[in-house]
């Protein structure tokens, strides 16, 4: 078996829902051993649906390759088991409500005193301080609070980003921070603290619209399937009712578009469209010119022309079309209800671990107790 970067790393995760499980899933894919601590009723993401061959789609996605252990951290015996695990662990991740871990004797600062090698990671909605610290924070709520909803979607209607982007972004940020901390420990010999919130992650992702507002007094408008700062950059409908998205990043590409795709060489020398700032001023006019030509060509004809002209494009596919997309790579993961085909890890050269399995609730409880009880 190929040696993976985090082989030998032990991660204990008191996790539920999406953000923290996505983080530890990435660590599993990198070779770490992840012991997932669950309540008797299990991670509530197990019950979101049963669409993935009998498994919850969210749970199947974010929990492959982990070991599931049922614990009640209010029970002294179970808490003793958790601390035995932590005495051997490299990383502890938790995303309970703010203060809940500390009240149960799992305060991160105390844990690092007790186990100097331990890296602790506390994942929260809005951070541990401030007026929002105790607020519940699910993905859509953070999309709304962070301003993300206000700059997304159609001008006439608010809408969420179609996937759990706050959870996913936070999970990836946590995984990156854990890897940084593991690298730092090689030099220092000591663990460290990580504290990441969904709000902080998405606020950082909102840097461009925030800076635009801070320094101009105006935030980007919702422009639907278009770009708030670049023209033409958006979706245009073909003669066979497909939506094809194009992106023009510079004047060279604009000239290629008008001469090779639109068959309007006269536009290349028109000063009204001489640079992106000018085209922004005449956005409606420019978009109408592009749409008029696109409406005369089929999707296949447009794709052929755009590719020949080296214009960046993509078509708006349905999820059905994603399912059969020629570029989609998949991993097959086993579960108690049958195999589940998931999108592969984004690193195309990363091998799939052969032992990936979606754990049954509490599947490893007795084995973990036998391995770790009394080892603290």
pLDDT on residue 373: 79
Other Cβ atoms closer than 10 A to 351: 11
Radius of gyration of the chain (CA): 25
| Greatest CA separation for the chain | 81
pLDDT on residue 114: 95
pLDDT on residue 352: 87
- Residue pair 197/133 in contact (Cβ under 8 Å)? The answer is no
User: What tokens does 312 get?
Assistant: 């960046």
Q: Which residues of the chain have pLDDT under 70?
A: 1, 374-376
Other Cβ atoms closer than 10 A to 14: 22
Q: For residues 248 and 256, give the distance between their C-alpha atoms in angstroms, rounded to a whole number.
A: 10
pLDDT on residue 82: 95
Strands 243-247 and 233-237, bridge-based pairing: antiparallel
Q: For residues 7 and 63, give the distance between their C-alpha atoms in angstroms, rounded to a whole number.
A: 18
pLDDT on residue 374: 60
Going by the DSSP 8-state scheme, the letter that residue 218 receives in this structure is -
pLDDT on residue 223: 86
The CA-to-CA distance between both ends of the chain, in Å, stands at 31
The structure tokens 């979606």 sit at: 358
Encode pLDDT of 275-294 as tens digits.
Answer: 999 999 999 999 999 999 99
pLDDT on residue 214: 95
- Residue pair 329/337 in contact (Cβ under 8 Å)? The answer is no
Instruction: Give how far Cα 67 sits from Cα of 7, 14, 86, 233, 360, Å.
Output: 15, 12, 15, 46, 9
Encode pLDDT of 50-85 as tens digits.
Answer: 999 999 999 999 999 999 999 999 999 999 999 999
Encode pLDDT of 341-351 as tens digits.
Answer: 999 999 999 88
DSSP state letters, 147-188: TTGGGSS-TTS----SS-HHHHHHHHHHHHHHHHHHHHHHHH
Cα 219 to chain centroid distance, Å, stands at: 24
Is this model's pTM higher than 0.85 or not? yes
pLDDT on residue 292: 96
Q: For residues 293 and 238, give the distance between their C-alpha atoms in angstroms, rounded to a whole number.
A: 9
pLDDT on residue 228: 87
pLDDT on residue 350: 87
Going by the DSSP 8-state scheme, the letter that residue 264 receives in this structure is -
């Amino acid at each position: 078996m190929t040696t993976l970067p985090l082989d030998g790393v032990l991660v204990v995760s008191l996790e539920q829902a999406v953000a923290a499980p996505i983080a530890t899933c990435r660590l599993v894919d990198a070779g770490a051993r992840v012991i997932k601590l669950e309540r008797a009723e299990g991670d509530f993401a197990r019950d979101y649906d049963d669409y993935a061959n009998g498994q919850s789609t969210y749970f199947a996605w974010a929990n492959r390759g982990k070991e599931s252990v049922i614990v009640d951290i209010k029970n002294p015996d179970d808490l003793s088991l958790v601390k035995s695990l932590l005495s051997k662990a490299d990383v502890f991740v938790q995303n309970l409500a703010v203060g809940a871990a500390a009240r149960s004797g799992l305060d991160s600062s105390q844990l690092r005193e007790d186990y100097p090698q331990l890296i602790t990671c506390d994942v929260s909605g809005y951070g541990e301080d401030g007026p929002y610290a105790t607020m519940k924070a699910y993905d859509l709520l953070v999309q709304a609070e962070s301003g993300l909803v206000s700059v997304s979607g159609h001008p006439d209607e608010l809408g969420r980003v179609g996937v759990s982007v706050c959870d996913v972004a936070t999970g990836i940020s946590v995984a990156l921070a854990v890897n940084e901390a593991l690298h730092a420990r090689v030099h220092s010999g000591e663990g460290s603290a990580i504290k990441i919130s969904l709000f902080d992650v998405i606020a950082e992702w909102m840097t461009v619209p925030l800076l635009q507002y801070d320094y101009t007094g105006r935030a980007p408008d919702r422009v639907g399937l278009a770009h708030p700062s670049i023209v033409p950059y958006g979706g245009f409908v073909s003669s066979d009712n497909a939506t094809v998205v194009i992106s023009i990043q510079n004047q060279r590409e604009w000239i290629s578009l008008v001469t090779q795709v639109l068959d309007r060489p006269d536009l290349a020398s028109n000063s009204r469209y001489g640079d992106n700032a000018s085209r922004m001023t005449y956005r409606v006019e420019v978009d109408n010119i592009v749409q008029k030509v696109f409406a005369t060509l089929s999707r296949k004809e447009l794709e052929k022309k755009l590719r020949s002209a080296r214009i960046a494009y993509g078509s708006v596919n349905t999820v059905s079309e994603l399912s059969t997309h020629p570029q989609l790579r998949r991993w097959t993961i086993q579960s108690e209800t049958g195999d589940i085909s998931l999108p592969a890890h984004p690193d195309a050269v990363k091998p799939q671990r052969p032992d990936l399995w979606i754990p049954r609730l509490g599947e490893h409880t007795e084995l973990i107790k036998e391995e770790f009880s009394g080892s603290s």
